[in-house]
Every structure is written in structure tokens, then in C-alpha cells.
Structure 1
């Protein structure tokens, strides 16, 4: 094996390792796993050059990254909404989640959002069972969002593998 070929395969292994780290990061709320996977693909494209097909793969990965980066908030909110929480309460809970992610990584965001939702729903309804039901709905939505984002991450890595190994 030539040195340049060895160097190329080492580069591919590094890119794949970063992508797998990003995939693992999807279960830790503070790490932007899809963005990490996307940046690794961007670095690959810059170093290797973007062919016409490369741009198509990268564009598809970009769409998945953008959609996946915001979809979890919609899924969590929709799950809480189905249980009766008003949108204003959901928005406040999501803001608390962002603050919690910054102040208490890695799980502070999820904890802050769920506790905030519970507190707001308890204050609004004066019934802890209803507040807990709404909070459980958001927690289930959070779990579903993790699965969806993980699936998107796997698809992004598969797209990169096809791009890297074929072109």
C-alpha cells in the first residue's frame, strides 16, 4: 500500500470516527450530533473536493441536519400539546430547556424543560396528576425525537459512506 493511499484511508477513518462521535452525541442533549456529522462531511468535501454527485450527497445531508436539529422541539411540544398543554407553556418549557442545557450539561436541559412544564401545568391546572400526564407526554416525545434524530444521523453517515467510497 502506498503512503498516499494509507493517508487517504486514515483520513476516511478520522472522518468516520468524528461522525460516529456525532451519532453518539445525539443521546446527550448538549452535543449537536447532527451538526458534528455534517461538519465532518463538510471537511471531507473541502479536502477531497466536491464532485457533482458530492454536492448532491452533501445537500441531502444538509437538509437532514437542518430538519433534525429542530424536529425534536416540535415532537416534544406536540406530545405535550396532545396532553393539553397550551403552546405558551410549551414554549416556556423549551426555553427553560435551552437555559438548562447551557447551565447544567449534559442533561440539565431535559430536566429543566420537564420540571418547568410540570410546574407551569400544576400552577395552571392545580392538579398534579394532569401536570404529570402532560410532562410524561413531553418526555415520551423527547425519547421519540432522539430515535428520529439517531435515524437521521445513521442516514447521513450512510450517505457519506456512499459518497466517499463511490466518488
Structure 2
């Protein structure tokens, strides 16, 4: 194994780790980091194992991940009676929360954002808090979906290398 191969594998593994961390921490480019790892492998080691079926499967999974991420989070808010304002608030909270409250902001941010959004939409405090909890359920469900699909992406990559 050459130094280029070793460097390629190190970068691939780092991108996989960043990708999996991105499933939980939304600022990191989760699925895109994993997708980029395939290109790093191809450029530094070989594109030979990957044909159109591999790229089609991986691209479809990335597309599903992007759609599911938003849809599942919005579902949690909507399921608990939230408005568009609470969906926006939850989305802003998930982005800003980790910076305002390091460590806990990932959970507190979407909750507070959804509550504020719902209060701005003239909802009662009780309903706003219920919608805030819905945003957390959506967030946790979204994280589970992302982790599973990103692990599937990595598994397909490994299987393709073993059979290719």
C-alpha cells in the first residue's frame, strides 16, 4: 500500500466520522461528507469498483436524506399542532442553539425556537410548549433516520469494495 493509498483511507475515514457526527450536529455536512469520501477514494485510490448502480444508489440516498431531514422535523412540529412559524422557529433554533448554549443548544434550540414561533403565531403557552416537544420528537426521529441512512451509505461502499 502506497502513501497515497494510506492518505486516501485516512481522509475517507475522517469524512465518514464527520458525516456521522453531522447526523447529530446539523452544522456539519453529514451525508455530503460521506458522499465526498467516495470521491476521495476514487481520486486517490480507484474509481474502478464504482459503476452507475453504485452512484445512483448513493445519490438517491443523499436525496432522501435531505428530504427526510426537513420532512421528519416538520412532521414532529405539525403532528403536535404547530404552525409554519413554529417550523421556522425550530429550524432557526437547531442552527443557532448549539452556538448560544454549547452542549445543550442542540436540544434547547429547536424547542425554544418552536415555542417562540408558536407564540408569535398567537398560540397559547400550553400549546406552544406542546409544539416545542413535538419539535424535539421530530429532531430525534430525524437523527435516527439520518444515522441509519448514512450507515447504509457506508455499508454499500464497503460491500462494493469487497465485491468489486
Superposition TM-score, scaled by structure 2 size = 0.79
Larger relative contact order, structure 1 or 2 (CA cutoff 8 Å, min sep 6): 1
**What's the counterpart of residue 157 of structure 2?**
160
Which position in structure 1 is the counterpart of 2:112? 115
1:166 positional shift: 2.5
C-alpha change, 1:87 and 1:120, in structure 2 (3 Å) is closer
Aligned pair 1:54/2:51, yes or no? yes
| C-alpha RMSD of matched pairs (Å) | 2.8
The 5 Å alignment of 1:3-42 reads: 3-4=1-2, 8=5, 11-42=8-39
Q: Give the secondary-structure state (helix, strand or coil) at the position aligned to 1:85.
A: coil
CA distance in 2, matches of 1:15, 1:106: 27
Q: Give the whole-Å Cα distance in 2 for the aligned partners of 1:45 and 1:107.
A: 38
Equivalent position of 2:129 in the other structure: 132
Count residues with an aligned counterpart. Answer: 162
Q: Gaps spanning 5+ residues in structure 2: where? A: none
CA contact (8 A) 1:94 1:113 kept: yes
Q: Is the 8 A contact 1:24 1:33 kept in 2?
A: yes
Which one of 68, 79, 83 corresponds to residue 82 of structure 1? 79
Looking at structure 2, the residues matched to 157 and 85 of structure 1 have their Cα atoms a distance apart, in angstroms, of 35
Cα contact 1:29–1:107 (8 A) shared by 2: no
Please point out which of 51, 60, 66 is paired with 1:63.
60
Shift in Å at residue 21 of structure 1? 3.3
Q: Unpaired runs of 5+ in structure 1?
A: none
Give the TM-score taking structure 1 as reference length: 0.78
Asked if structure 2 preserves the Cα contact closer than 8 Å seen for 1:41 and 1:58, the reply is: no
Q: Distance in 2 between matches of 1:102 and 1:144?
A: 19
How far is 1:56 from its partner? 1.8
Change in Cα spacing, 1:86 to 1:76, as seen in structure 2 (3 Å) is same
Describe the SS at the equivalent of 1:114: helix
